[in-house]
Structure 1
Amino acid sequence: MSDTTIYYLQMLAESELSSKPAVSGLTITETKIKEYRFNRFLYSLVGEQWQWFDKLKESDESWKAYSERDNLRTWVAYYEGAIAGYFELEIDQQREVEIKYFGLTSAFIGKGFGGYLLSYAIQQAWQTCKAKRIWVHTCSLDHPSALANYQARGFTLYHQEIEG
């Protein structure tokens, strides 16, 4: 098995955001009623193609504890009634917001949705979550454009490591 590079990126001010314009027909909704089974479904739906398997082995209790916390918020993107993608934002005590999970479903990759969905996620972190800092990590197993999308939106790389 080859080594995996993990990239840690951050944004320190809302003014650093270089947003993409809205995509016509794409609606993004926060899931205000928390339901761990839905978060697990989204994780599986979006992450399967990127080898997001580690959390799928967790128990219902673990998923419930993770996804139904007050400091975790989830948004889902829909296009013509279909789930196009989702993101989760985790807010810590210092108002540092981590984009825990972010991605598109396979049917919507390559259609220009990723830049806008990420822009929207960042806007929600700054405005709705009142972030003082936003950070995210991605890796070399993710979509080949993932790192470039984060950087194009204004994130800067602050750390990287290799896992063997």
Structure 2
Amino acid sequence: MEKGLIHIYCGDGKGKTTAAMGLAIRAAGREKKVFITQFLKSGKSGELVSLEKLKEYITFLPGRPVNKFVWNMNDEEKMEAKREHTARFKEIKDIIKNEDYDLLILDEIIATINNGFIELNEVIDFLKNKPETLEVVMTGRDPKEELIELANYVTEMQCIKHPFKEGIPSRVGIEL
């Protein structure tokens, strides 16, 4: 791969993770080596089932499942999330430094940064010093300006209408 670029999929609309996983599938289809982790997620999303079938090219590092929104966490749960997310990001940096990946997907890292679970400066330092050919995708709402400046692609998904606002819960295979 040529020079690896930085992508941000952000916004209040559905599709950030879906876009990132679509890129993972595209890269795997071209026999690129992909590394994925998800922050602030339960670890039960349907895309993980599909990605398991592509494990020859895609590595997934799960974190401790998070089954609450941050605003529902107590202080102890927030501290535990910070410890786990910070440690996992360090592990990811070590893996990326020592193994040859083409694409890294950091799903919901932007929310992780915004909630203080990973320091913005650590992510910026990683992005500035990443391997030359590594493509990086970050997802989440409200990216900091510093991340937008570093990115080569910034795509915003905008919610115009969503069934959740009508009381329809997430559905397996569509939102889960």
Report the TM-score when normalising by structure 2: 0.35
Report the TM-score when normalising by structure 1: 0.37
Relative to its length, the structure with more helix (as a share) is 2
Relative to its length, the structure with more strand (as a share) is 1
